[in-house]
Amino acid sequence: MPVFSLDPAQKSWCDELRAVAADRLRPLAEKGEPGHVNRPLVAALGELGLLDRMLTAGALDLCLLRESLAHGCTEAETALALQGLGSYPVVQAGTDEQRDRWLPEVAAGRAVAAFALSEPGAGSDAAALALDAVPGGSDGPGPGWLLTGEKRWISNAPEADFYTVFARTTPGAGARGVTAFLVPADRPGLTGAPIEMLSPHPIGALAFDSVRVSAADVLGEVDQGFRVAMNTLNLFRPSVGAFAVGMAGAALEATLTHTAERTAFGGPLKDLQSVAHQVAEMATRTEAARLLVYAAAEAYDSGAPDVPRRSAMAKLFATETAQYVVDAAVQLHGARALQRGHLLEHLYREVRAPRIYEGATEVQRAIIAKELYG
């Protein structure tokens, strides 16, 4: 598929998703309680088949899903994305037993997943994580470990039903000493607490007090968990860009309507050259971001060797662009855009976090430079 255009079936699907997001999912989102998992919203995503589609999607389908949902309901987009981020390690590296136990529940919207990588001292530098996995205490065949330490800034914590947890099984080995574990939320010794954030979805801290895990809980291979994390992020980083493009597109549409209808200085705002040029810049950057996201998704789906660089570029450019576009939209709308409940007030709060999570802008630049010089 040419990355510069979508075929009629894809365009029709995106239009349907926008309508579903606005008409069915947004009312559920508005009934949710900030800082808590909106389980009716997650269940609706399951009933609509969107979670199942997300679990089996290629990168381009995932991007189209996230962009279209973000345009109509950012909360629905985020709920879907967090289900994907938390469960994709199970998709790519889980055993048959792990997949059979959890993936049908995720797809149906009955189980909430979480991706537990960040720590108080290891956010952007994921290879520096320090959650200890000390050998011992196996309940079954094969080796066992006791997890001790803390995770922080974990989306869906402490309300998720299971966590993909990355722990250090070999001290001093950097990225090569990390193992991924699937840890159910009811495992003894695992507790959590919410963190009050700008985000409407839950974000929290997890405390591990000698939480027992065994070989049956390992995702992939021992000491190969960093690869599981990076494979997940390589898929989801372009789709973070797609989320950003969806928000930028919604802000741009609102701005086109507002500047065509609002009069000032004897005519509509759109007739002022400074306004028209600003809107043209917003549209051009949004389209450039969209194309970069689609190109990164196509590279992932085709197995291209430069996926890390393209994923980082897409995430970097699209999230920075969305920040610019939403900010410009607020400026052109004036004070009304900052009124509680206005679309742009909502987008203004939502658009900031994607420049930080799943690798901050600065980390993406470091990845790009490393790939270029490598």
Give the C-alpha separation, 246 to 222, whole Å. Answer: 38
What is the DSSP secondary-structure string of 6-75?
Answer: --HHHHHHHHHHHHHIIIIIHHHHHTSPTTS--HHHHHHHHHTTHHHHHHH--HHHHHHHHHHHHHH-HH
Give the C-alpha separation, 369 to 374, whole Å. Answer: 8
Quick check: is 150 catalytic? Answer: no
Candidates 222, 261, 248; CA nearest to 320 is 248
Cβ-contact 144, 214 below 8 angstroms: yes
Other C-beta atoms closer than 10 Å to the C-beta of 241 total 33
Catalytic one of 281, 345, 358, 371:
358
Give the C-alpha separation, 358 to 124, whole Å. Answer: 8
Give the C-alpha separation, 86 to 150, whole Å. Answer: 17
**What is the identity of the amino acid at 105?**
E
Give the C-alpha separation, 168 to 178, whole Å. Answer: 5
Positions annotated as catalytic residues are 358
